């Protein structure tokens, strides 16, 4: 899986102490996937410990 992180995404991940491995896990096996029709993006959500990882992305196939 090829993933390109925007500068904004990397900044937010650093400020929230989010791990890149959690982002990949969310993309690979999300608990939920939503479609944002207005922005033509997908939103993957995965519960990791006591937190939810939310990844907004374009491209690729919808996992669920």
CB 60 within 8 A of CB 44: no
**pLDDT band at residue 64 using 50, 70 and 90 as cut-offs:** very low
State the Cα–Cα distance between residues 38 and 27, nearest whole angstrom. 21
pTM above 0.85, yes or no: no
Interval 36-46: pLDDT, tens: 999 999 999 99
3-state helix, strand, coil in the chain (%, to 5): 30, 30, 40
């Amino acid at each position: 899986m090829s993933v390109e992180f925007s500068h904004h995404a990397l900044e937010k991940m650093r400020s929230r102490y989010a791990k890149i491995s959690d982002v990949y896990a969310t993309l690979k096996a999300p608990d939920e996937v939503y479609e944002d029709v207005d922005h033509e993006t997908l939103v993957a959500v995965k519960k990791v410990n006591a937190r939810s990882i939310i990844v907004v992305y374009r491209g690729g196939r919808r996992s669920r």
